[in-house]
């Protein structure tokens, strides 16, 4: 006969005794354990696609034809409930983006390797390619090569950064241009069709998309025939630039060139005067800005690159009458554009 002293006795103590330890009474009794509270709240996915929440504390059995509605103020983290009928269906809330991370518009994002590869092969303009850090496969190397050949900026980032921007990224996200680029030749042809002398804006080192958008907006208002940006050291037509342009991107042609100095040489060969901006240049308010002209605008910090400045036919500057030595790049560009407008009307 079995020894009664060795038989398991009913549990009669504190079930929560022992931190993090599960205790199991007789088989007839329920299992008791600690429930973690610091977990994302679950939500039910209904047949119509809507999400419903319900606190586990406020759950009450309902009929199969009733609809569950619980105020969000009564919800608790870790709460979930079972559907009155059918299998359990839960959907975890996505983690909130880190502070300072800007969520771009969905139509300006390509996610996944196949969509990005096909877009690059089709010639769709890609501004930037974000790649998750870590070991890269052969397919990833091919996409990176195609992106660099297309002039896109390739940047390796933590996978968590990609998760914050778009969860289903497959290790890669691509930012595409808000509008298609045009050729420099198309801008000159558009000016000829209008019977006007070419008036172009060339940007060197403008890396802030808000400045780019503001310059495009001013160029459209001033009647310029196009804006030219280089592939390197320059902001692209991102959603931020499109927002700052306030719709001007739909009317202002934008050309992206591999080498700005070669573009300057091409314009000079077509009879266009290239005017750069520099602190030691002549007074723009007194300079002759008539005829076919291309204004070169540099960045606020470094200005126009030395080799590019040497390519310019002449340089101009705006008088600084206050104590600050420089203007915002987009503000200076707007003033100079309207000096060209005034000269042409003069």
pLDDT score at 127: 81
Structure tokens at 63: 């009929």
Dist. CA 97–CA 258, nearest whole Å: 35
**33-38 contacts at long range (C-beta below 8 A, 24 or more positions apart):** 35/78, 36/78, 37/76, 37/77, 37/78, 38/77, 38/78
Q: What is the mean pLDDT of residues 124-153?
A: 84
Whether 228 is in a domain gets the answer yes
Same domain, 193 and 308: yes
pLDDT above 70: percentage of residues in the chain: 69
Strand-pairing partners, residue 317, are: 283
Residue 135 has pLDDT above 50, yes or no: yes
Q: What is the mean pLDDT of residues 265-277?
A: 96
Structure tokens at 260: 């700005």
User: Residue 92: which residues within 8 A CB-CB, separation 6 or more?
Assistant: 40, 42, 43
What does residue 195 show for φ and ψ, rounded to 5 degrees? 70, 30
The CATH number of residue 128's host domain is: 3.30.1330.30
Last residue of a domain, one of 176, 195, 223: 176
Higher pLDDT, 160 or 76: 160
Higher pLDDT, 337 or 166: 337
pLDDT score at 7: 55
- In this prediction, residue 105 has a pLDDT band, given cuts at 50, 70 and 90, of very low
Same domain, 194 and 323: yes
Last residue of a domain, one of 153, 176, 199: 176
Structure tokens at 98: 């880190």
Same domain, 201 and 333: yes
- Supply the range of the domain harboring residue 321: 184-345
Same domain, 119 and 202: no
Give the DSSP H/E element, type plus range, for residue 117.
helix 113-121
Read off the pLDDT of residues 183-203 as tens digits, 9 standing for 90 and up. Answer: 999 999 999 999 999 999 999
Same domain, 215 and 320: yes
Same domain, 193 and 112: no
Q: What is the mean pLDDT of residues 122-128?
A: 81
Whether 13 is in a domain gets the answer no
Dist. CA 159–CA 161, nearest whole Å: 5
Residue appearing with tokens 């802030």: 208
pLDDT score at 316: 96
Dist. CA 76–CA 170, nearest whole Å: 32
pLDDT score at 5: 55
Last residue of a domain, one of 131, 153, 176: 176
Instruction: Report the range of poorest mean pLDDT among 3-12, 132-141, 329-338.
Output: 3-12
The CATH number of residue 236's host domain is: 3.40.1280.10
Q: What is the phi-psi region of residue 294: left when phi exceeds 0, alpha when psi lies from -120 to 50, beta otherwise?
A: beta
Same domain, 141 and 262: no
Arithmetic mean of pLDDT over the chain: 77
Whether 83 is in a domain gets the answer no
Same domain, 125 and 216: no
pLDDT score at 154: 87
Whether 255 is in a domain gets the answer yes
Higher pLDDT, 136 or 278: 278
pLDDT score at 94: 40
Dist. CA 259–CA 274, nearest whole Å: 15
Same domain, 192 and 272: yes
Same domain, 191 and 314: yes
CB atoms within 10 A of CB 155: 10
Higher pLDDT, 175 or 337: 337
Q: What is the mean pLDDT of residues 221-228?
A: 97
Same domain, 238 and 137: no
pLDDT score at 37: 54
How many domains does the structure of the chain reveal? 2
- In this prediction, residue 6 has a pLDDT band, given cuts at 50, 70 and 90, of low
Q: Three-state SS for 134?
A: coil
pLDDT score at 326: 82
Residue 281 has pLDDT above 80, yes or no: yes
pLDDT score at 61: 45
pLDDT above 90: percentage of residues in the chain: 37
Same domain, 128 and 258: no
Dist. CA 257–CA 260, nearest whole Å: 6
């Amino acid at each position: 006969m079995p020894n009664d002293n060795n038989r398991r006795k009913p549990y009669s103590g504190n079930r929560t005794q022992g931190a993090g330890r599960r205790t199991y009474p007789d088989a007839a009794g329920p299992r008791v354990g600690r429930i973690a509270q610091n977990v994302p709240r679950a939500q039910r996915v209904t047949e119509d696609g809507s999400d419903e929440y319900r606190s586990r504390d406020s759950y009450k059995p309902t009929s199969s034809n009733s609809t569950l509605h619980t105020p969000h103020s009564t919800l608790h983290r870790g709460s979930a409930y079972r559907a009155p009928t059918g299998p359990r269906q839960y959907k975890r809330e996505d983690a909130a983006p880190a502070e300072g991370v800007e969520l771009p518009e969905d139509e300006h994002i390509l996610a996944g390797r196949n969509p990005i590869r096909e877009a690059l092969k089709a010639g769709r303009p890609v501004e930037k390619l974000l790649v998750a850090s870590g070991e890269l496969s052969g397919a990833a190397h091919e996409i990176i090569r195609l992106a660099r050949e297309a002039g896109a900026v390739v940047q390796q980032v933590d996978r968590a950064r990609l998760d914050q921007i778009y969860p289903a990224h497959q290790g890669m996200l691509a930012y595409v241009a808000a509008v298609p680029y045009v050729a420099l030749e198309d801008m000159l042809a558009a000016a000829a069709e209008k019977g006007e002398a070419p008036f172009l804006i060339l940007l060197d080192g403008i890396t802030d998309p808000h400045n780019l958008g503001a310059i495009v907006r001013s160029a459209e208002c001033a009647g310029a025939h196009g804006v030219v940006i280089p592939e390197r050291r320059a902001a692209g037509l991102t959603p931020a630039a499109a927002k700052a342009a306030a719709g001007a991107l739909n009317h202002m042609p934008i050309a992206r060139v591999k080498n700005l100095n070669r573009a300057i040489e091409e314009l000079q060969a077509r009879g266009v005067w290239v005017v750069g901006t520099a602190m030691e240049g002549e007074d723009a308010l007194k300079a002759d800005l008539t005829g076919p002209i291309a204004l070169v605008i540099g960045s606020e910090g470094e200005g126009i690159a030395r080799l590019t400045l040497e390519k310019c036919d002449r340089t101009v500057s705006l008088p600084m009458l206050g104590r600050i030595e420089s203007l915002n790049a987009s503000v200076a560009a707007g003033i100079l554009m309207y000096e060209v407008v005034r000269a042409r009307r003069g």
